[in-house]
Amino acid sequence: MRDFSSASATGSTADVFAGLERAGAGAMASVFRGTYVRSGRTVAVKRVLPALSHNDHVRQMFDDECRVHSSLEHPKVVRYVTHGRDDDGAFLALEWVEGTSARAFVDPERKLTTGAAVAMALDVLDALDALHRGRAGRLARVAILHRDISPANVLVGVDGVARLADFGLARAMCFARSTPPGTTAGKLGYLPPEVLAGRMHSTRGDLYALGVVLWEVLAGERLMGHINDHASRAAAFVIEPRRSLTAVRPTVSSAIASVIDRALVLDPAQRFASAVEMAEAFRSAVSRDEWSRGRDHLALAARGDHVRRARRRSSARSVH
């Protein structure tokens, strides 16, 4: 049971956290690993980058993220611990996920087996199903769109379980509105075509973005990483046919490839209608053998990357 009284931890940084070490960074925030003094647990502490900490819009977004994340509780969503303010400003503390992010697998040397990719997909779909139906929260039943599904926002634990992270752009569905073309928030390579064209993000948009993530962890490369401005990205949908997953990696079965193809159809009406429908399609596309070994493969892949990064950190320490 979460201790709601801890939802506004304040004080000097040293009173709240111990042993903070920088662990990662995104476009707007830094993430540190440390111990939450009150519970003795290892946490990820997220803070707005110092260069942006005086930007009111960014501060408002971070407050929204803390509010949304603090209302969530689901086994496939990174667990909220507390949020508040200390000497270093506002922070959001989350349970530390020992493992890696799916970004590690977008690499020809480390791409996932089909079974591992399906295990990961089913975890994220489990989280999305609950979010989209307003069942991922402890409080009111508010349906939520994530709007920023990308490999870096899917954390894979050494236990072989994937968890959805980063609710920095998440919105209650009732507040979702369209944004003018060219101004959309979110990572360009994962934005659905309708959002790029200025239409509203939807549950099908989150499923599309997951389709891109799965294409990438199976191919071991970016799908559209080379296109980095809005206009060419939007045009690319019209001009170029999407690269076929089976052409890049012929050992992926046509059944799995066609589930991913359906998630990536340009017309949202032709995509999966819900996370549950997409999960069912994956379950029936995977062989019994792939199915039984998928979770173990995912755990092995996360452990492999975890160990590699730990070694890199310790050799960096011994050099300095």
Ligand X SMILES: Nc1ncnc2c1ncn2[C@@H]1O[C@H](COP(=O)(O)OP(=O)(O)O)[C@@H](O)[C@H]1O
Residues that bind Mg ion (CB under 5 A): 26, 152-153, 166
**Smaller CB distance to ligand X: residue 29 or 252?**
29
Read off the tokens for 106.
């977008």
Q: How far is the CB of 96 from ligand X (least distance, A)?
A: 5
**Smaller CB distance to ligand X: residue 80 or 282?**
80
Residue 301's binding partner, choosing from Mg ion, ligand X, none, with beta-carbon cut-off 5 to 8 A by kind? none
- The CA distances from residue 191 to 25, 74, 83, 203, 229, in Å, are 21, 25, 29, 12, 12
The C-alpha angle with vertex 209 and arms to 109 and 30, in degrees rounded to 5, equals 75
**Smaller CB distance to ligand X: residue 78 or 112?**
78
Residue 97's binding partner, choosing from ligand X, Mg ion, none, with beta-carbon cut-off 5 to 8 A by kind? ligand X
User: Which residue is closest to ligand X by CB?
Assistant: 26
The C-alpha angle with vertex 148 and arms to 252 and 296, in degrees rounded to 5, equals 40
CA–CA distance, 48 with 213 (Å, rounded to integer): 25
CA–CA distance, 75 with 163 (Å, rounded to integer): 8
Q: Read out DSSP for 96-132?
A: --SEEEGGGGSSTTTPPPHHHHHHHHHHHHHHHHHHH
Q: How far is the CB of 130 from ligand X (least distance, A)?
A: 18
**Smaller CB distance to ligand X: residue 79 or 262?**
79
Residues lying near ligand X in the complex (CB under 6 A) are found at 23-24, 26-29, 31, 44, 46, 78, 94-97, 101, 152-153, 155, 165-166, 168
Residue 96's binding partner, choosing from Mg ion, ligand X, none, with beta-carbon cut-off 5 to 8 A by kind? ligand X
Helix axes 114-132, 275-285, angle to 10 degrees: 160
Residue type for position 13:
T
Residue 28's binding partner, choosing from ligand X, Mg ion, none, with beta-carbon cut-off 5 to 8 A by kind? ligand X
- The CA distances from residue 21 to 29, 39, 236, in Å, are 14, 18, 41
Those residues whose C-beta lies under 8 Å from the C-beta of residue 239, and which sit 6 or more positions away, are: none
Q: How far is the CB of 212 from Mg ion (least distance, A)?
A: 15
| 217 neighbors 151 (Cβ within 8 angstroms) | yes
**Smaller CB distance to ligand X: residue 186 or 193?**
186
Q: How far is the CB of 101 from ligand X (least distance, A)?
A: 4
Q: How far is the CB of 146 from ligand X (least distance, A)?
A: 11
Residue 161's binding partner, choosing from Mg ion, ligand X, none, with beta-carbon cut-off 5 to 8 A by kind? none
Residue type for position 22:
R
**Smaller CB distance to ligand X: residue 46 or 297?**
46
Q: How far is the CB of 68 from ligand X (least distance, A)?
A: 12
Residue 256's binding partner, choosing from ligand X, Mg ion, none, with beta-carbon cut-off 5 to 8 A by kind? none
